[in-house]
Amino acid sequence: MFTPEQTSTASIREQIVDAAMACFTERGYDRTSVDDIAARSGLSTAEIHQHFADKAEIRLAVSQVMSELLSGWMASA
């Protein structure tokens, strides 16, 4: 069971990952900045850096989410 703080952290991380996915899809990874992700998520870059060290770490989280989605889709096919 998650504490309220853990739930909040997970929710913010999900918000960042969702925004990053949208930005990467629209602009590509190389043309997306942390500022772009911040603007899309409604968070500040400082808030993003509280959860992720850099854009590469965000990319890893996006890749993990995509992998989980694909695995779920493949399992149900």
pTM score, whole prediction? 0.83
pLDDT at 38: 97
CATH code 3.40.50.150 for 4-76: no
SS (H, E, C) 37-68: HHHHHCCCHHHHHHHCCCHHHHHHHHHHHHHH
- Burial degree of 23 (CB within 10 A; 0-12, 13-18, 19+): buried
Q: How confident is the model at residue 1 (pLDDT cuts 50, 70, 90)?
A: very low
Q: How far apart are CA 42 and CA 71, in angstroms?
A: 30
Given a cut of 50, whether residue 9 has pLDDT beyond it is yes
What is the average pLDDT across 8-31?
A: 95
What is the average pLDDT across 42-60?
A: 97
Length of the chain: 77
Domain ranges of the chain: 4-76
